[in-house]
Amino acid sequence: MMPDDEEPDGLIVMPHNRQAEEALIGAAMINPECVRTITVLPDDFYVVRNGWIWDSIQMLSNTKKQLDFITLIEELEKRNQLADIGGEVYLMDLINRCATSLHAESYADIIIEMAIRRRVITDANELARIAYDKKADMNDGISKIITSLATRTNSKGGAVHIKQFVSEFYDKLDKRCKDPIPVGKVSGIPTGLIDIDDAMDGFQLGEEVILSAPSGLGKSLLAFQMVAGMADHSAGAVYELEMNVNALIAREISGLTRVSTKAMRRGWVKDEDWIPLTKSVEALSNKEIYVSEQTDWNVMKLRADLARLKERANIKWFMLDYMDLLADRVGKDDIERMKWISTQIHNICKDLKLAGLVIQAMTKAGMQNNDGSMTNLGGAAKLISDADQIIFMLHDDSEPTKYKLKWGKMRNETPPGVIDLFKPIGSPRFDNAMREARLP
């Protein structure tokens, strides 16, 4: 059998894995549900006919149409591609050769890796061409290649006249006024926590929100609860550098079902709890959340991964827990390091037009005083300058179930002051204050 990277005449071709491409298509036809969690694009396929088939599969899946052998054949016929891909025989052969859809994600990972390798080779060849061309602008060429390698997005243009931005602003305003946001809804991405959404008007694309709290107060749990609510409306990513992701999931499920994490850990789940548990697990697993618990993330890797997910999965937001744990080692001391990281995170939100929820440590003074003062934010000065919003999470010592969120900064509005949250004893989930959202 011929190697994947070799043609019959012995010529070396671009990296690819034909078996993985065929297996993924077969898995998708066996279990159409797996298509929703896979971010492979048609252009990622090396074999052209496989890319055509995948494009049809994605179209059927994205438009909520029934995806099966018959509808796929019909779609390929509409595109006049059925004969070119090998007809019904080729599709049936792919199904017969794929025993299960359980490994679909693994096939997808192989396809994506091969596609990235081909693009790197293409970029490297272009870089070599620029180096040989004495008339080429080296700085411009290198800059474009680096951007392509890191983000796979087009280079941004230069400055343009302000009337373009004013025109875009007016068009958005006019469109929104013709279709205003109903009372009780928000313009940004809602979290499901009414008071928070009311105060922030939801999470806004391109803005960075910093959440700070004393250690052990539950800021990671609150943040995950917020983004789990945001995932009901748009896709996003969670970079968990501190906590175990399984622990976050267990507490989220516990909060939804009122089955304690201890009971789940020990297997003491009552018969009547299995139905809500199963429903909650299924609901959470179907949310468009992409998660990493690697601890070696740095700013460059984070930007590249977010750009990848934005392109492939259309993510709108991300959560970083927490900023100080990024692996970058720059500057002469920790203050300079945090200044640099802060600027980079802010730029990621702005450049990629993503809403960012970033958790950051509180200083020892803030922990001791239970005080939401701006000077109690770790790496204070630069973080305060860069962030669009800064929220301090504090515990109300007068009531064990009561917590406070205090806004230290809101770039475009007057900070809303303090709002209350409640976390019943024994529950890992935060609840709204018992009232309806305020009128605008």
- The dihedral through the CA atoms of 167, 169, 170, 172 has a sign that is positive
pLDDT given for residue 380 in this prediction: 56
pLDDT tens-place string over residues 26-42: 999 999 888 877 878 89
Q: Residues 42, 51: contact at Cβ < 8 Å?
A: yes
Q: What's the CATH architecture for 1-156?
A: Orthogonal Bundle (1.10)
Q: What's the CATH architecture for 194-422?
A: 3-Layer(aba) Sandwich (3.40)
CA distances from 26 to 79, 87, 128, 276 (A): 20, 15, 39, 33
Mean pLDDT of 57-73: 85
Of 67, 62, 63, residue with least CA distance to 25: 67
pLDDT tens-place string over residues 247-269: 889 988 998 888 888 889 899 99
Q: In what order do the strands lie in the sheet with 402-410?
A: 289-292, 236-240, 317-321, 355-361, 208-213, 389-395, 402-410, 418-422
Percent of residues, the chain, with pLDDT higher than 70: 85
pLDDT tens-place string over residues 290-316: 999 999 898 888 988 898 899 889 999
pLDDT given for residue 438 in this prediction: 39
Pairing label, strands 289-292, 236-240:
parallel
pLDDT given for residue 6 in this prediction: 47
Return the domain boundaries, the chain. Answer: 1-156, 194-422
